[in-house]
Amino acid sequence: MAIEPQHITKLKEIAGPKGWSDDQTIIAPHLVEPRDKFSGVTPLLLLPDSTQNVSKLVTYCNQNKIKVVPQGGNTGLVGGGVPDGSGNEIIINLKRLNKIRSEDVLNHTITVDSGVILSDLHDAVEKINFQFPLHLASEGSTMIGGNISTNAGGINVLHYGVTRDLILGLEIVLPSGEILSDLTGLRKDNTGYDLKQLFIGAEGTLGIVTGATLKLYPSHLQKNTAFVAIKNPQSAIELLSLARKISGDNLIAFEILPRIGLDFTIKHMAGCCDPLAEKYPWYILMECATSLEKDLLDLEILLERILETALNKDLVLDGVIAKNMAETKALWNLRESMSEAQKFEGGSIKHDISVPVSKIPQFIELASAAVIKKLPGIRPVPFGHIGDGNIHFNLSQPLGMEKSEYLALWQQINSIVHDIVHSLGGSISAEHGIGILKVQELERYKPEIDLKIMRTLKKAIDPNNIMNPGRVISLK
């Protein structure tokens, strides 16, 4: 049912003069997600600047059964943060809720509004000589509330964990409009159910995150990056294990790149070039970091020791260690451009999967063979966070095939890959979430009891089903 005009008027009144827009040119960027795979329409974009205002808006929506899509930086990749095509959903975007609320340096915590952009948070934290170790290629626009709601991963999960591991407390506006708040910054609190955990990774289906208390870590005083060539994914996981042991757990990133992905990146992305003279089938981008001074631990020597040992064991074929920040950036640019570069090669069918680290080689072998059998000429580009068992198993279309014909195979190919993931005890969504894209796939693989509990929780917290309906879990 279309939203009645008097509700739009009332919501504008509650939001205040700067707190809304119905100008479709302003709304347009909020309607499409980055991969252009999902887009929708809405008559109203709400831009509250306080938790109280979010609460009033949601209360009104709940009373009048108006559907709400919470939105942060709109960098999500599964269609969870944009409205559907009905025109019956309004967006509540958190970008005006963007204050650093307080710092507690002796508690190693910071409390922020949920609309703070991740890179702004990094800058704020750096000023007080700390670091917040969540790093994604989208950090210049993604917001901490979005990161919490997707339980974002990124490149330093290996050492610091996913977003869930970095959260000490949340403030949430529930679908009823009530505010659930625990921003005390306690590290120990065993007083019953840990409610905040429900909202981390809920993709806006259980409420709107408005504030968070986050863990801070000592700043890195040394960081060293290496780019090495390897034979195959089996060498990658053996190198990973070796590097973790030798580094004394100072390994913070470990990413795999296939030659084909590097070829695409060098061909299509400005300023990208081959770091090594020879070509090899696979590469690892690895980084060690520490907050220790060099006289206590020399990271350069440590990284050299790792690579020397790996060379002697035939795990590494060639490599280079970045000598300065410019070289480090150039190496990371190769990794961060890899997804974008695939756009120039036609259609790309994506998978964001995880399996136990030890099973990655088996996964890549089985899944590549299966998709090539289904569609000869398909070009697998498996890359990403191998240190976490998380591969972006992207598949570029065969050369010369019609893009639309190829993309029509999206679900069939997803099923082939996800069946293999499932058989290896893995997850069909390692870090990007479920959104709209994977609702059916979730139902296919989650045990019935898990789905039953998810639906029970959703109905208990959001009985009118106003909060991001249809995303993550269908109610049936």
Using the contact rule CB under 6 A, the part of the chain among 125-133, 151-159, 280-288, 451-459 near ligand FAD is 151-159
Single residue of 41, 137, 221, 370 touching ligand FAD by CB under 6 A:
137
Q: Return the ∠ at Cα 277 (arms to 271 and 281), rounded to 5°.
A: 90
Q: How far apart are CA 396 and CA 134, in angstroms?
A: 29
Q: Which is nearer to ligand FAD, 78 or 315 (CB)?
A: 78
Residue 348 interacts with ligand FAD (CB under 6 A)? no
Residue 147 interacts with ligand FAD (CB under 6 A)? yes
Residue 176 interacts with ligand FAD (CB under 6 A)? no
Using the contact rule CB under 6 A, the part of the chain among 56-64, 152-160, 238-246, 400-408 near ligand FAD is 152-160
Report residue 181: phi and psi, to 5°.
Answer: -135, 130
Please say whether the beta carbons of 331 and 275 come within 8 A: yes
Min separation Cβ 475 and ligand FAD, Å? 17
Residue 180 interacts with ligand FAD (CB under 6 A)? no
Tokens of 230: 């390897």
Residue 408, judged by CB atoms within 10 A of its CB (0-12, 13-18, 19+), counts as exposed
Q: Quick one: which of 417, 426, 135, 414 has its CA closest to 255?
A: 135
Using the contact rule CB under 6 A, the part of the chain among 71-79, 323-331, 369-377, 417-425 near ligand FAD is 71-79
Min separation Cβ 293 and ligand FAD, Å? 30
Q: Which is nearer to ligand FAD, 84 or 203 (CB)?
A: 203
Q: Which is nearer to ligand FAD, 136 or 284 (CB)?
A: 136
Interface pattern 30-69 for ligand FAD (x via CB under 6 A): ----x----------------------------------x
Q: How far apart are CA 282 and CA 321, in angstroms?
A: 17
Interface pattern 452-471 for ligand FAD (x via CB under 6 A): ----------------x--x
Residue 337 interacts with ligand FAD (CB under 6 A)? no
Chain position whose Cβ is nearest to ligand FAD: 146
* Strand residue runs (E) in 177-279: 179-181, 208-215, 217-218, 222-230, 251-258
- Furthest C-alpha separation in the chain: 74
Interface pattern 209-248 for ligand FAD (x via CB under 6 A): x---------------------------------------
Please say whether the beta carbons of 11 and 58 come within 8 A: no
Q: Which is nearer to ligand FAD, 34 or 398 (CB)?
A: 34
Q: How far apart are CA 75 and CA 153, in angstroms?
A: 14
Tokens of 459: 């109905």
Please say whether the beta carbons of 262 and 331 come within 8 A: no
Residue 299 interacts with ligand FAD (CB under 6 A)? no
Using the contact rule CB under 6 A, the part of the chain among 8-16, 40-48, 105-113, 130-138 near ligand FAD is 130-138
- Looking at residue 349, its amino acid is I
Residue carrying structure tokens 């293999």: 420
Residue 270 CA neighbour count, 13 Å, CB half: 0
Q: Which is nearer to ligand FAD, 205 or 250 (CB)?
A: 205
Q: Which is nearer to ligand FAD, 438 or 471 (CB)?
A: 471
Min separation Cβ 139 and ligand FAD, Å? 8
Min separation Cβ 110 and ligand FAD, Å? 17
Residue 119, judged by CB atoms within 10 A of its CB (0-12, 13-18, 19+), counts as middle
**Cα separation values, 214 from 54, 134, 184, 197, 379, Å:** 21, 11, 10, 14, 41
Residue 143 interacts with ligand FAD (CB under 6 A)? yes
Pairing of strands 352-354, 390-396: antiparallel
Q: Which is nearer to ligand FAD, 153 or 380 (CB)?
A: 153
Q: Using CB under 6 A as the criterion, which residues of the chain lie in contact with ligand FAD when the complex forms?
A: 34, 69-77, 80-81, 94, 114, 136-138, 142-143, 145-147, 149-150, 152-154, 203-204, 208-209, 431-432, 435, 468, 471
